[in-house]
Amino acid sequence: MQVPFTDLKMQNDLIKEEAISSITNIIENSSFILGKAVSDFEEAFAKAHDSKHCIAVSSGTDANHLALWAHGISHGDEVIMPANTFIATAWGATLCGATPVFADCHPESYNLDPVKIENMITEKTKAIIAVHLYGQTADMDALKDISDRHNILLIEDAAQAHLAEYKGKKAGSLSSVASFSFYPGKNLGAFGEGGAVTTNDDELSRKIRMLRDHGSEKKYHHEYYGHNYRMEGIQGAVLNLKLDHLDKWTEKRRAAADKYRKLLKDIELIKLPLEMEYGKHVYHLFVIQYSERDKLQNFLNSCEISTGLHYPVPLHLQKCFADLNYKASYFPVTEKLASDCLSLPMFPDITDDQIEFVCDKIKHFIKG
């Protein structure tokens, strides 16, 4: 049996006819950049995430940049973030000219550990980025307490957390501003690149809309330095169609995670992901830990089971950040995850038979 890591074709086939119709309409009306399809999506996505505003942009990386840029983060500033995340989180800071300051993650949630960041705050610290990794929200109350006491910005990187919840509230509504990604493999994926910023702040929303469109609210009148971070009409149309299915797809992911847990719970050498009591995990990824991860991955590949590594080289050990002088062993939890983590196949329509096959092969490998 072949088990893919994800199956975008199955998902896209579900909306294919509607998508063709919507894309044809955009072609006929030449509404290729922004337009009604994008504004309709912005309204629907904001509502789904308990937010007043959604500003659709060209990628999740651009959303990370805008979230900080709109708050005036600039050269000389420091932004605290987890070392255990995709590098696009750091680009949000570096694109502003700021310095990323990395911190270790919590051993159970895999998200930024509030206990680890208090002594990292300096007079240069202007923001903390709470990444909702793998589809689980960070401990936002603890992080907000720190940010409030030090009068620094707290923002969310919710690239992997569409419809995730923290104490009954949706990701994207838990801070001043949040960024999302619609990279095709995300829980809500475009037919290409896409991203969004959510906020409940009217003036901040207005500023971000201008920054994404050359600093302009009125054509040829430029209030700010800006950029071209606009979403394409086709992506807005596709995302709006997929958004109608996102609740159902999320529950299917959660059911698949429950199935994995049931079948793997008795394997002592495997550490399963823990769903924190404060939130609702949406399982963008189902990540296990095993001390001989590479051998297990190679074995599963030989069984035609595709897996993923998220993330084998932590940010503080990336060559591009060598000038920041971080060393191996600085962040032991993050580094253990980097060496031991393996992402198992996870997508809404993964079947019970496929999950059982994956788990049987894992058991066979570990029992030798």
11 pLDDT above the threshold of 90: no
**Mean pLDDT, rounded, for 319-343:** 97
Using one digit for the tens of pLDDT, what is the confidence trace for 86-102? Answer: 999 999 999 999 999 99
Q: How far apart are CA 173 and CA 46, in angstroms?
A: 9
CATH of 246-367, one of 3.40.1390.30, 3.90.1150.10, 3.40.50.2300, 3.60.20.10: 3.90.1150.10
145 pLDDT above the threshold of 80: yes
- Residue 281 is which amino acid? H
What's the CATH number for 8-103+110-243? Answer: 3.40.640.10
Dihedral of CA 323/327/332/336: which sign? positive
Contact 159, 179 (CB under 8 A): yes
Q: How far apart are CA 52 and CA 173, in angstroms?
A: 9
Domain-by-domain residue ranges, the chain?
8-103+110-243, 246-367
What contacts 277, CB < 8 A, 6 or more positions away?
none
Q: What is the pTM of this model?
A: 0.96
Contact 259, 87 (CB under 8 A): no
272 pLDDT above the threshold of 90: yes
CA 202 to chain centre: 24
* Percentage of the chain modeled with pLDDT above 90: 97
Average pLDDT, the chain: 97
What local confidence, expressed as pLDDT, does residue 367 receive?
87
368 pLDDT above the threshold of 80: no
56 pLDDT above the threshold of 90: yes
What local confidence, expressed as pLDDT, does residue 10 receive?
87
**Mean pLDDT, rounded, for 172-195:** 97
**Mean pLDDT, rounded, for 177-202:** 98
What local confidence, expressed as pLDDT, does residue 362 receive?
98
Using one digit for the tens of pLDDT, what is the confidence trace for 124-140? Answer: 999 999 999 999 999 99
Using one digit for the tens of pLDDT, what is the confidence trace for 149-166? Answer: 999 999 999 999 999 999
The DSSP code sequence of 229-273 is -BPBHHHHHHHHHHHTTHHHHHHHHHHHHHHHHHHHTT-TTPBPP
Q: How far apart are CA 205 and CA 57, in angstroms?
A: 12
